[in-house]
Structure 1
């Protein structure tokens, strides 16, 4: 008999797995509707929609296995990372959707949010002031104009599935997808896995306009923005290889 596995659960959304079916429940029905629409538009493999009855969405499991897990060393080969890079490039070159995604926040608004969050981190004692200040300076490079691309918005390595070393079988979790900064996706994918950035870019294409300083800036920016939220929602940003270690690496 299949058991119910809680994949992720917090106040905004939850994902359960029963056998080969994933059931997503999202409090924001508009976000779930957009996820279904953007999966249909994406030029890369996505999970098959079994049924969609807001606020719930049932998806078929993908073949293969995720490239890795955040906070854990990746055992995937350079060839597998390159295959993921090629799939991401295909996504970024697709027609840009009308919806603005998580990677599409305006630089000025993002800077204001970042400054507020940095102040909270220091005032609450969650992180040392010197660590926050150094990463805030690094993050500045991400706060610049960018050319809109079709972005996933939450492109963690656990969201890309491969069969073997070179076949991407699907990309999951499109709730944050939309128009945005392509380098946000590349940075999210390599967060905590900096040693695989060159392999990813080998597949993404050396002809692409990829500024490594901006990718490093997104590592700092993303980590600063989520540390407090993660701690308040039952996750551990202080575990080895997680967000706090990413911030310390910039020191």
Structure 2
């Protein structure tokens, strides 16, 4: 890396930071249990992931993946329908794999978090009261029992890398756990509803689209406060508050 001329800050807040130095990503996390999960999940996942170069707590060094992100929240996707379908097929491979030994979040905990975040949104005025109420009704559809699978847990389109129509890897595994398969599909397609059919086609199984859309509402409701408190803008065009507004229009 002697010819590196700059360090790129990919993401940074008071819990963790990721910087790029040439073709190496350095992830610094204050909570090493997150990194423990990430490393173990990457070893277990039957899908392409970034190569682990070394780990010296609190730093995890990963090789850059080839290709570009499948999409980014708030930006139009320029990747093909076939690439989105390939992402769906890759997710299916993960969900068909043996469960990781650690559990995911309990349904009661998710419901309690939804209560807290809706109350905070109402107090803060960050989202219109009617929009909160409408999305709350939609979100509750996701609060049902499910058969757990190996989930990524934060499968944003920006965490899936593609070259052409092929998936080259998936990054950011610190929230991997046993979980609802439809949550992964919802996170992948959040902000890109035009590609939901492509994802489901690649996934190759019957899925409940209403539950996926419910997870869009639930994830957005519970994400707004965190984003604001960590210096991000959920009100940017195409981001979480836009998702909530669009969901409310169809309620």
> Which TM-score bucket, shorter chain as reference?
over 0.9
Match of 2:106 in 1: 106
Give the deviation of 1:196 after TM superposition: 0.4
Q: What TM-score, normalized by structure 1, do the two folds share?
A: 0.95
Q: Secondary structure at the match of 1:250?
A: helix
Partners of 2:110 and 2:237 lie apart in 1 by: 27
Partners of 1:16 and 1:220 lie apart in 2 by: 31
Larger displacement relative to structure 2 (212-221 or 26-35): 26-35
Partners of 2:51 and 2:62 lie apart in 1 by: 6
Q: Secondary structure at the match of 1:73?
A: coil
Q: How does 1:195-206 map to 2 (within 5 A)?
A: 195-205=194-204
Pick from 48, 52, 57: which aligns with 1:49? Answer: 52
Match of 1:10 in 2: 13
Partners of 1:230 and 1:222 lie apart in 2 by: 12
Give the deviation of 1:85 after TM superposition: 0.6
Partners of 1:64 and 1:119 lie apart in 2 by: 41
User: Aligned pair count?
Assistant: 245
Match of 1:229 in 2: 226
Contiguous gaps of at least 5 residues in structure 2? none
Give the deviation of 1:233 after TM superposition: 1.1
Match of 2:74 in 1: 71
Pick from 205, 210, 215: which aligns with 2:207? Answer: 210
Q: How does 1:57-136 map to 2 (within 5 A)?
A: 57-100=60-103, 104-136=104-136
Q: What TM-score, normalized by structure 2, do the two folds share?
A: 0.95
Q: How does 1:113-192 map to 2 (within 5 A)?
A: 113-165=113-165, 167-192=166-191
Deviations 1:32-65 (A, max 9, x none): 0121111010000111111011111000001111
